[in-house]
């Protein structure tokens, strides 16, 4: 199992229930969640999909390398995620 770091920027105008649903759908694909940090709403350096602010969340987790590719695909498809960065640590 490899360790990965994932940082997400969600749309800031999502309500708490919708945000929780998106984050739950992402975290169920993790193997072993080691750390979760919600950084909250922050200004973006530039507009992304007409958004001036984004809700930041950071995860550290371990998962089998073969499961990382489907996770990357699922993050690209999700409409409420403005940007993400998935790196192997």
Cβ–Cβ under 8 Å, residues 59 and 30: yes
pLDDT (tens digit, 9 = 90+) per residue, 48-64? 999 999 999 999 999 98
Q: How high is the pLDDT of residue 59?
A: 97
Q: How high is the pLDDT of residue 48?
A: 94
Cβ–Cβ under 8 Å, residues 56 and 9: yes
CATH superfamily of 2-88: Ribosomal protein S6/Translation elongation factor EF1B (3.30.70.60)
* pTM for this prediction: 0.92
Q: How high is the pLDDT of residue 87?
A: 96
Q: CA triplet 56, 57, 61: central angle to 5 degrees? A: 155
pLDDT (tens digit, 9 = 90+) per residue, 15-72? 999 999 999 999 998 889 999 999 999 999 999 999 999 999 999 999 988 988 899 9
């Amino acid at each position: 199992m490899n360790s990965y770091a994932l940082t997400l920027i969600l749309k800031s105008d999502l309500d708490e229930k919708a945000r929780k649903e998106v984050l739950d759908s992402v975290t169920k694909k993790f193997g072993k969640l080691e750390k979760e940090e919600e950084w909250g709403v922050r200004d973006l350096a530039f507009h992304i999909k007409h958004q001036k602010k984004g809700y930041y969340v950071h995860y550290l987790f371990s998962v089998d390398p073969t499961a990382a590719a489907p996770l990357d695909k699922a993050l690209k498809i999700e409409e409420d995620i403005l940007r993400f960065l998935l790196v192997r640590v």
